Amino acid sequence: MDCSSSGQIEHWTLDDAKSAIQIETCGDCTTYIKTFRLDYDPELEAVADDLGSLSLDAAIETEGFKRVGLNPFSFPV
Ligand SMILES: [Zn+2]
């Protein structure tokens, strides 16, 4: 995220919590970032799956969030 706030972070997925495509929204600055969890799906292709999940983007943007970036190869820390 582009701010240091962590109090308003929410996680969104297409289907369940183990979905390889995750969106993190920040309620403070109303932005979101899309993350691909290669640990959930090693076969994930960032560009193709980004396009395939645009309906999720649309849903998030309906909530008033603006996309700030793509983090195609994210692993848990
Ligand atoms: Zn923020």
* Domain range annotation of the chain: 9-72
Which range, 19-23, 52-56, 57-61, has the best average confidence (pLDDT)? 57-61
Task: Tell me, in angstroms, the distance from the centre of ligand 1 to residue 13's CA.
Answer: 19
pLDDT in tens, 4-31: 667 888 988 887 778 888 899 999 989 9
Across 62-75, average pLDDT: 76
The one-letter amino acid at 15:
D
Is pLDDT above 70 for 70?
A: no
CA–CA gap between residue 23 and residue 70 (Å, rounded): 10
Cα 7 to ligand 1 centroid, rounded to whole Å: 9
- Dist. CA 43 → ligand 1 center (Å): 30
Residue 50 has a pLDDT of 84
Where are the strands (E) in the chain, listed by range? 9-13, 21-26, 31-37, 66-74
- CA 68 – ligand 1 centroid, Å: 10
The band of 36, judged by pLDDT with boundaries at 50, 70 and 90, is: confident
Please compute the mean of the pLDDT values over residues 21-44 and round it to a whole number.
89
